[in-house]
Structure 1
Amino acid sequence: MTEPLPPRVADLTGYDILLSLARLGSIGAAARAHGISQPAASARIRQLEAQLGVPLVERTARGSNLTERGGLVVDWARPVIAAAADLEAGIAALRDEHDTHLRVAASLTVAEYLLPGWLLRLRARHPDTAVALVSANSSGVIEAVQSGSVELGFVEGRSVPSGLRSRTVARDELVLVVAPGHPWARRRGVEGARLAATPLVTRERGSGTREVLAGALRAGGAGALAEPLLELSSTTAIKSSVAAGAGPAVLSARTVAGELQAGTLVRVPVPGVDLTRPLRAIWPAGQTPRGPARDLLAIAERER
């Protein structure tokens, strides 16, 4: 088992300054090399002498010279300081490699309608960064962030589990849509209780859209969602099924804007039910997004 570093060598700064003194010939020159004042360099050497219990530097009117014991300490410290420099260089290389790869997970609405623009702007800042994007429902994104397989996630919903930090990066609205021939297409609105009791064409369990809808209906006193008419894994499949007359669906307004404009789907108001939702960036608690992940988060927030 590896033992903790002894107190006399736990801090290498004094040894590093001593090596600079031996190389450059004066405490003043050593201080300049380390970007500190001469009194600060002298204080670090005196502290090192106190820790070791032996004089390391002989101070005279003509300057400072290593004592015999100081020379021995310098010889012993030289490979240690070199190893520390190698360690720092290796860590820097790891950081550089980390900053050239970004792993992101996003729910379908964010992945299809928001992330492409965000990533285009990120590319302008980090042209050498390769982005790996995983598209999943909100539950899948949360699992990916919790497991550490991605550095940053984007989900749809009003809350996130403990152990994760979140930040709202956009707002979204869910809308009830039907085919033009559906009886609801001619109504001025559908009450929440009736919507809750109606089997819908919907996403699978774990979808942020489905969870937000269920929560909004409960909050509005409409009761629990009925069992789905169809459960489909993609927004495109849901839109096609609704347009073909399968039944109503509740989807992000972003995803049906084209169909509403073309008239292949019709929006039906749901008075008294708040169907707005935040779109959130999530990452592990206790960590801070850095490098490209930090910049992607900033881009998303700026375009909120």
Structure 2
Amino acid sequence: MESVEGTEGRDADHRPVPGALAHRVPDLGALELLLAVARLGSLGAAARETGVSQPAASSRLRSMERQLGVALLDRSPRGSRLTDAGALVTDWARRVVEAAEAFDAGAQALRDRRDSRLRVAASMTIAEYLLPGWLLALRAQRPDTAVSLLAGNSATVAERLLADEADLGFVEGLSVPSGLDSVVVAHDHLVVVTAPTHPWARRRTPLSPAELAATPLVLREQGSGTRQVLDAALGGLARPLLELSSTTAVKSSAVGGAGPAVLSELAVLEELTTRRLTSVPVAGVRLRRDLRAVWRTGHRPTGPARDLLTLTRTRTPTP
């Protein structure tokens, strides 16, 4: 009966099967072991250099000989010597290993280029009150990574990610746009605030949801996560008293007495502590929202983006 030993990756006529190269060519570990034997003249020394036991090294070389169908070494008590075929295979192996080293160096260069920058897009509350701490911690881990930050509303963050203009985003809205994956990294509470001189600051009973919905407020622009959550919780809003494009502007207007506002508790902690703003309770409505990290579907964060995502889990204050 005809032997089939060493015929893996070949058809019935012993011709190579297209696409079966991995079955016909020894792996890099075996080639590196052969090169070490050729250089050191000893299977034992080669085994020690490559970090395997001598029996494992011997088994690996015999397996390669069966795979190639030729003897590579003459073994004797005085050591191991390459056969003529082994010398040829060793020369070819050297070129394969050098090509693999060049491949690895190129891949590392691509990783280094990727890891040298991080583009972050974040909605306003997260950009102002959470990201600075996260980025400071990231700098301690990756001092050579240059970070660029785009702050905008949640809709803008989604647009930047979908246009591949950001590696990682953070949003505050109710839903995640199509084409993005997400994970909740923190929770936030919205609070109704007024200047201490506003009549609501002296109320003895909580606001009702209907009363809040019917009152013109100082609000963020359309597309902001804060406004989306408030609108959904109340089932609609009155025409805004003022419509502003940043959390800081809304807060300053409320402090100045322009009218009541609804803001993240993270954004007004200092003003509530110093009594420049007063919190007004609301009965019967849940003003809690999830803060999410988002990225393009199928592009799970890697490198510095992955590290920043991990940091959000361990360095997020609870409001």
Alignment of 1:149-298 (within 5 A): 149-157=165-173, 159-161=175-177, 163-168=180-185, 170-187=186-203, 188-217=205-234, 223-284=235-296, 289-298=301-310
2:60 corresponds to which residue?
44
Displacement of 1:16: 2.3
Displacement of 1:79: 1.6
Displacement of 1:190: 1.4
Contact 2:209 2:285 (C-alpha < 8 Å) held by counterparts? yes
- Write the distance in 1 (CA, Å) between the matches of 2:26 and 2:176: 41
- Write the distance in 2 (CA, Å) between the matches of 1:32 and 1:164: 47
- For the pair 1:300 / 2:312, whether they are aligned, the reply is yes
Displacement of 1:87: 1.3
- Give the 3 Å change call, closer, same or farther, for CA 122–17 of structure 1 in structure 2: same
**Percent identity between the two aligned chains:** 59
- Give the 3 Å change call, closer, same or farther, for CA 103–25 of structure 1 in structure 2: same
Displacement of 1:30: 2.0
Instruction: Tell me the amino acid that sits aligned with residue 248 of structure 2.
Output: T
Q: For residues 207-265 of structure 1, what are the alpha-carbon distances to aligned partners after superposition, in whole Å with 9 as ceiling and x for unaligned?
A: 11112222333xxxxx2334434332111222233345544321112222343345443
- Give the 3 Å change call, closer, same or farther, for CA 71–105 of structure 1 in structure 2: same
* Structure 1, 109-118 or 123-132: larger mean CA deviation: 123-132
- Give the 3 Å change call, closer, same or farther, for CA 40–160 of structure 1 in structure 2: farther
1:125 corresponds to which residue?
141
- How high is the TM-score relative to the length of structure 2? 0.80
- Write the distance in 2 (CA, Å) between the matches of 1:243 and 1:199: 16
1:6 corresponds to which residue?
21
SS in 2 for 1:280: strand
1:220 corresponds to which residue?
none
Contact 1:166 1:283 (C-alpha < 8 Å) held by counterparts? no
Instruction: Tell me the amino acid that sits aligned with residue 48 of structure 1.
Output: M
Q: For residues 96-125 of structure 1, what are the alpha-carbon distances to aligned partners after superposition, in whole Å with 9 as ceiling and x for unaligned?
A: 333332222221111111222222233233
- For the pair 1:144 / 2:160, whether they are aligned, the reply is yes
Q: For residues 40-59 of structure 1, what are the alpha-carbon distances to aligned partners after superposition, in whole Å with 9 as ceiling and x for unaligned?
A: 22232222222222222223
1:72 corresponds to which residue?
88
Contact 2:26 2:64 (C-alpha < 8 Å) held by counterparts? no
- Write the distance in 1 (CA, Å) between the matches of 2:91 and 2:253: 78
- Give the 3 Å change call, closer, same or farther, for CA 43–87 of structure 1 in structure 2: same
- Give the 3 Å change call, closer, same or farther, for CA 108–191 of structure 1 in structure 2: same
Instruction: Tell me the amino acid that sits aligned with residue 231 of structure 2.
Output: A
- Give the 3 Å change call, closer, same or farther, for CA 247–129 of structure 1 in structure 2: same
Contact 1:160 1:166 (C-alpha < 8 Å) held by counterparts? no
Q: For residues 4-54 of structure 1, what are the alpha-carbon distances to aligned partners after superposition, in whole Å with 9 as ceiling and x for unaligned?
A: 572323733322222222112122222222212222222322222222222
- Give the 3 Å change call, closer, same or farther, for CA 153–181 of structure 1 in structure 2: same
Contact 1:196 1:224 (C-alpha < 8 Å) held by counterparts? yes
SS in 2 for 1:194: helix
- How high is the TM-score relative to the length of structure 1? 0.84
